[in-house]
Amino acid sequence: MIKYDIGIIGGGPAGMAAAISAYKNGAKNVAIFERDTRLGGVLWQCIHNGFGLTRFKENLTGPEYSERFYDEVKALPIKIYTETMVLSFSEGVITAMNKSEGIFDVEVGAIILAMGSRERSRGALTVQGERPAGVFSAGTAQRYMNIKGYSVGKKAVIVGSGDIGLIMARRLTLEGTKVEAVCEIMPFSSGLRRNIIQCLEDFDIPLYLSHTVTEIKGKDRVEGVVIAKVDENKNAIPGTEFEIDCDTILYSVGLVPENELTKDAGVELSPRTRGAVVDQFRETDMSGVFSCGNVLHVHDLVDFVSEEAETAGKWAASYALSGKREKKFAFTEPGQGVGYTLPQRIDVTDDKPFKIYFRVRAEKRDATLRLIKNGEVVREIKKSRVAPGEMEYVSFIPKGLNEGDTLTVEVI
């Protein structure tokens, strides 16, 4: 059986950064398993800019950002499998499949999960109507337009005001499709404020907060939508319905980490992040299996993905070369105002500082962030503005933290 120090599942931005980091940290035999025809993941279709502001202090498009890592991966002796599907993994083994080798096993010193996320679909939302052509997930429409050069329709309504929906509102408009409206079921948008400005306000595209599409009209092709206001339980308020004529609907209603393989392998997943439970080194509860990027928790900025992947790569290399370490865990918990914290557990035998990432449940101004250890406030920080659509972090040093302790992050 072929053996690699590190087997990386997924060759997008997380997989590439993890591979480079693992190599630079001493793992000389690194392999990436990618199911698409090339590395780069979803970045190739993200032709808009806004990438790399933190990492490179430049404002890059997705392809430009991706190419920085792609070039570095190609320059190193990293084994790249493309058009190769991983079927399963367990401690020390990855089973994959491709045209030339059929189904094959590889032995690995450590595994890094970097499979990214997929989009939630209209089907998951149970919207009334037939099944006319013209209903796309925003990412599919993005791929059709930006990779293939197709127009997806003439008049569109977008459901969901997260960043992907906002970016596509602008993209469609620039390419001649009239975007009639963006609907958002929550009373606030989860997208970055700069995207609201540059994608909606720039083009006078109306944003209907606390609204959703309740019915799709049309049999063979979309003919229109019925939009209604919703109450605080997200139920349509009768009498508030209005119709918009359109031939295209884009759904941008959330990303879901793609953890089928992870679940099958028996790795513990968190229902809050829908990704693996990890420690500050991004190791899961399965020895030698690490996770990073969108498959671990959905990110807003790829700069953070690269940083996280480098952490996973470094410690996966350490595991592959030096073996398993005995760890003792304390735990993080989301408190008031916080949706999740990551890492969910902290190895207290190590005292290196690290970042605790979290997301708040609602937009707040002049908020107070508190770190609470076993019921006692250990740190308080003022934050001028926090929002669910913008992942936050707080730096932390695990000194004085003991096994079994709970560290709660609250934002009020």
Partner 1 sequence: MKDTVCTVCPKGCEVKVEIVDGKITLVEGNGCDKGKEFAIGEFTCPKRVVTSTVKIDGGDMLPVRTDRAIKKELIFSVMKKIKSVKVFTKVKTGDIIIQNVDGEGANLVSARSLDD
- Using CB under 8 A as the binding rule, whether residue 54 contacts partner 1 is answered as yes
State which of residues 75, 99, 102, 148 lies at the interface with partner 1 (CB under 8 A): 148
Window contacting partner 1 (CB under 8 A); options: 25-33, 54-62, 107-115, 313-321: 54-62
CB of 168 to partner 1, least distance (A): 13
State the angle between helix axes of 13-24 and 62-75 in degrees (0 to 180), rounded to the nearest 10. Answer: 30
State which of residues 38, 194, 221, 324 lies at the interface with partner 1 (CB under 8 A): 194
- Using CB under 8 A as the binding rule, whether residue 202 contacts partner 1 is answered as yes
> How far apart (Å, rounded) are the C-alpha atoms in residues 163 and 390?
11
Per-residue x/- track, 273-302, partner 1 (CB under 8 A)? ----------------------------x-
Q: What is the CA radius of gyration of the chain?
A: 22
- Using CB under 8 A as the binding rule, whether residue 53 contacts partner 1 is answered as yes
- Using CB under 8 A as the binding rule, whether residue 211 contacts partner 1 is answered as no
Q: Which residue lies nearer to partner 1 by CB, 50 or 218? A: 50
Size of the site for partner 1 (CB under 8 A): 31
State which of residues 19, 39, 42, 48 lies at the interface with partner 1 (CB under 8 A): 48
> How far apart (Å, rounded) are the C-alpha atoms in residues 138 and 120?
10
- Using CB under 8 A as the binding rule, whether residue 145 contacts partner 1 is answered as yes
* Residues 411/338, Cβ–Cβ less than 8 Å: yes
> How far apart (Å, rounded) are the C-alpha atoms in residues 238 and 160?
21
Q: Which residues contact 13 (CB under 8 A, 6 or more apart)?
A: 40, 41, 43, 65, 66, 69, 293, 302, 305, 306, 309
- Using CB under 8 A as the binding rule, whether residue 146 contacts partner 1 is answered as yes
- Using CB under 8 A as the binding rule, whether residue 191 contacts partner 1 is answered as no
Window contacting partner 1 (CB under 8 A); options: 45-53, 124-132, 276-284, 397-405: 45-53
Q: Which residue lies nearer to partner 1 by CB, 58 or 231? A: 58
* Residues 288/200, Cβ–Cβ less than 8 Å: no
Measure Cα distances from 16 to 12, 343, 354 in Å. 6, 21, 22
Query: Backbone phi, then psi, for 63, in 5-degree steps?
Result: -60, -40
- By CB under 8 A, the residues from 319 to 378 that bind partner 1 are none
CB of 237 to partner 1, least distance (A): 30
Measure Cα distances from 388 to 138, 186, 214, 300, 340 in Å. 20, 11, 25, 10, 11
Measure Cα distances from 296 to 70, 167, 239, 351 in Å. 22, 23, 41, 23
Window contacting partner 1 (CB under 8 A); options: 94-102, 140-148, 204-212, 246-254: 140-148
CB of 163 to partner 1, least distance (A): 13
3-class state of residue 127 by DSSP: coil
No. of helices (H) and no. of strands (E), the chain: 7, 28
Q: Which residue lies nearer to partner 1 by CB, 322 or 395? A: 395
98 closest CA partner among 83, 116, 118, 77: 83
* Residues 4/106, Cβ–Cβ less than 8 Å: yes
State which of residues 192, 276, 309, 356 lies at the interface with partner 1 (CB under 8 A): 192
> What's the full length of the chain, in residues?
412
Q: Which residues contact 324 (CB under 8 A, 6 or more apart)?
A: 287, 288
Q: Which residue lies nearer to partner 1 by CB, 133 or 174? A: 174
CB of 389 to partner 1, least distance (A): 12
State which of residues 25, 35, 36, 63 lies at the interface with partner 1 (CB under 8 A): 63
Q: Which residue lies nearer to partner 1 by CB, 148 or 399? A: 148
Applying CB under 8 A, the residues found at the interface with partner 1 are 44, 47-50, 53-54, 57, 59, 61-64, 66-67, 145-149, 174-175, 192-194, 197-198, 202, 301, 303, 385
